[in-house]
Structure 1
Amino acid sequence: KEIIDLDTIPHVKFIVVGGLKQKEIEAEAKAMGIGDKFEFTGYVPKSTLKDYLKTFDVFGYPLAQYHYGTCDLVLQIAMASGVVPIVFNNAMEKLFIKNNKTGIVVKDKKGYVQAIINMYNNINWRKELSNNAKEDAIKRFTLENLDNEWEKVFNEVLKYSKVSRKWEVSRGRWDINKKEITYADVFLESLGHYGGAFRYNYNAKTFADLIFSQKRIEELAHIPSWQTETKGSVHNYYSYFPDDKHLKNWSKIMKEELK
């Protein structure tokens, strides 16, 4: 209800493709009295995704402000399919979309609602943006362009002098008596200095240390980038290595904090 004016567009239909949050979103929609406005497809193979996109007038993509996306594939697919994207002015979206040319970029929820109304009321403009989005995506998101951009990055990196890399574990800064590297060690190593709360908990010597570090981990649980089940989060590591006691504990702490 916050991103659509049901009085202006009474026959609106939301098609939600994907299954990770389906039950949660479906329950929320029903609780708000708009369950009939939604169609949930569940998981669909990528090969059939284009069949759904063909039925879309616009591609609603209101991501949270501090999301971690940098090169969103689904946004590329939508644009290449000629579906007009409507997004917030986050860093990634602004890089992808030329406002009022290949899509609509808005500042807030009010602007989002108005953008959808404008697309509903102006079919010709929507068709123009659709054609522009498709043309721009096909030109920009090609293997040739991708290859050229990666080559630029590699050439830039090769200019730097080689340096010797050593794990913190091997330097004895976590546990000097450790003989084997655990999966929790790998997780901590991947975080670098951002893993302070987990490392403090890992090395806790007293009950007070455990309580203090747990509070810090609970604080992290409220940050969206730490809540994801993928992208190298503690939940991601725990899903692959469920027997690691530290990963199990950290994942449990963060999830229970959000209940």
Structure 2
Amino acid sequence: MKILHISAHLGGGVGKAHAALMEASARGRGKVARMRHTFVLLEPPKDLDYVARIAAAGGRIVVAPPVEEIPALVAASDIVQVEWWNHPRLYALLATADLPPMRLALWTHISGLNAPLIPERLPALADHTLFTSPCSYAAPNLEPVIAAGRERFAVANSGFGFSPIVRPPARAPLRCGYLGTVDFIKLHPEVFDIIDAVDADLRVSFFGHLDPLGEVAARAAGMRHPERVRFMGYASDPASVLRELDLFLYLLTPGHYGTAENALVEAMSLGVVPLVFDNAAETSLVRDGRNGHVVHDADRCVALLDALHRTPSLLDPLSARAAADMRRTRTPRATLRTLSRVYAGMMDMPRRSRDFAAALGVDPRGWFLSTLGERADVMGATQRLMGRTCAKGSLGHFHACFPEDASLTALGLDMRP
């Protein structure tokens, strides 16, 4: 079975997921081991690590081919899988290229619960849509298409844990940390107020890229107790960092775009107990009082941190269950079984032409607006998507990819530096 993956790139979560899946498939036997995977990347990769791992496991990598060569790759494949998030180059290829009939799988790497949304007409074009978290079933703009054919949807987890370890009991002082995107597009805006308000002398290490001139650095510097926060930079070996923590302080903003939450899965797989807000993506993984703590507001979070700092042993039973739950549910083999089942069912389907332009729009302005939804306030939503920056899927990102496109200028935002 020949699977063609179309992806903007193979960095971040999507690259990590496919590297793990390819390596597990190469070690396996049976149907999953007999698949042949080709990855078309629409832009040159900035980080070659995952690309190299995929290639070493038998994947074929095609980097930024001329658009006119892609239809032949589609025609030669049994199944085309679009690795979907709202990357401008994915829109441009699908909406403008003359692609032949295909069997189409869609693997979404954003939750779709908040902007950026999964364009509501896109799953209707797919033979099968795969979510990376069950939370995406609640995406408000997808309710009609899911209701019309729920059998065409499934969950294929893309976040996988590490091998379990034997952890010593948690002891004082509590070792607390965060690993992930160090930006308020992901972090909860009150995270530093919460750390400041704890009576105990709590110390929290943040691992991830930090803009020293950005809002996160400024807010941390303005704390009453700035010494409680340490910015440790990018963690090239997440497992070694996470092994040294007792509590994973994963406090995310309610409107974040995350779905698989790789860092949360990895932390829990090593027995690091998570403390999260009750956002949908996090609560699909964390069960309050079973394998972690879920809080509704900042006051409850502060009180819980004080209690855990006084009595770290409260974490021990949750730690064991967190590791066991991830070992049972968040593995490459489990996802491979899901993909194998979906692909086998799709092979009985005919190849069909797809009108992507009708589903996505015909120009960059339409493509960007499809991420906001019909009820969205354009100006407000673009600010939430960091409109003046080049963060992924933002208006700035679209403008960077299509700098001369007049349709983006028509949105009325000045994109000059």
Match of 1:26 in 2: 217
Give me the whole-angstrom Cα distance separating, in 1, the residues matched to 2:210 and 2:346: 37
Instruction: State the identity %.
Output: 26
Aligned-residue offset at 1:224: 5.2
Taking structure 1 as reference, are residues 161 and 100 closer, same or farther at Cα in structure 2, changes over 3 Å only?
farther
1:21-60 → structure 2 map (5 Å cutoff): 21-23=211-213, 24-45=215-236, 48-60=237-249
Match of 1:207 in 2: none
Of 307, 329, 339 in structure 2, the residue corresponding to residue 140 of structure 1 is 329
Is residue 192 of structure 2 the alignment partner of residue 14 of structure 1? Answer: no
Give me the whole-angstrom Cα distance separating, in 2, the residues matched to 1:83 and 1:37: 20
Taking structure 1 as reference, are residues 233 and 118 closer, same or farther at Cα in structure 2, changes over 3 Å only?
same
| Deviations 1:124-175 (CA, angstroms, capped at 9, x unpaired) | 2212212221222122211111112334555677788765422448xxx96x
1:1-259 → structure 2 map (5 Å cutoff): 1-4=192-195, 6=197, 8-10=199-201, 12-23=202-213, 24-45=215-236, 48-154=237-343, 164-168=353-357, 185-186=363-364, 188-189=366-367, 192=370, 194=372, 217-223=378-384, 229-244=390-405, 246-247=407-408, 253=414
Report if the CA contact (8 A) 1:218-1:254 is conserved: no
Report if the CA contact (8 A) 2:390-2:396 is conserved: yes
| Deviations 1:64-123 (CA, angstroms, capped at 9, x unpaired) | 112221211111111112211100111111111121111101111112112222322222
Taking structure 1 as reference, are residues 3 and 244 closer, same or farther at Cα in structure 2, changes over 3 Å only?
same
**Alignment partner of 2:300: what SS?**
helix
Taking structure 1 as reference, are residues 222 and 190 closer, same or farther at Cα in structure 2, changes over 3 Å only?
closer
Aligned-residue offset at 1:234: 2.4
Higher relative contact order (CA 8 A, sep 6+): 2
Q: Which moved more, 1:98-107 or 1:152-161?
A: 152-161
Report if the CA contact (8 A) 1:60-1:87 is conserved: yes
Match of 1:212 in 2: none
Give me the whole-angstrom Cα distance separating, in 2, the residues matched to 1:59 and 1:44: 15
**Alignment partner of 1:4: what SS?**
helix
Give me the whole-angstrom Cα distance separating, in 2, the residues matched to 1:153 and 1:113: 44
- Larger % of strand: which? 2
- Larger % of helix: which? 1
Report if the CA contact (8 A) 1:71-1:92 is conserved: yes
* Larger CA Rg, structure 1 vs 2: 1
Give me the whole-angstrom Cα distance separating, in 1, the residues matched to 2:341 and 2:387: 31
Normalising by structure 2, what TM-score? 0.45
Taking structure 1 as reference, are residues 192 and 37 closer, same or farther at Cα in structure 2, changes over 3 Å only?
closer
Report if the CA contact (8 A) 1:218-1:253 is conserved: no
**Alignment partner of 1:120: what SS?**
helix
**Alignment partner of 1:78: what SS?**
helix
Report if the CA contact (8 A) 1:188-1:195 is conserved: no
Report if the CA contact (8 A) 1:235-1:251 is conserved: no
For the aligned residues, what is the CA RMSD?
A: 3.7
The one-letter code matched in structure 2 to 1:32 is: M
| Deviations 1:147-206 (CA, angstroms, capped at 9, x unpaired) | 12334555677788765422448xxx96xxxxxxxxxx2563475485779xxxxxxxxx
Give me the whole-angstrom Cα distance separating, in 2, the residues matched to 1:16 and 1:255: 32
**Alignment partner of 1:15: what SS?**
strand
Give me the whole-angstrom Cα distance separating, in 1, the residues matched to 2:317 and 2:280: 24
Count of equivalent residues: 223
Taking structure 1 as reference, are residues 161 and 58 closer, same or farther at Cα in structure 2, changes over 3 Å only?
same
Aligned-residue offset at 1:249: 7.5
The one-letter code matched in structure 2 to 1:26 is: A
Give me the whole-angstrom Cα distance separating, in 2, the residues matched to 1:161 and 1:26: 54
Give me the whole-angstrom Cα distance separating, in 2, the residues matched to 1:228 and 1:152: 40
Report if the CA contact (8 A) 1:234-1:250 is conserved: no
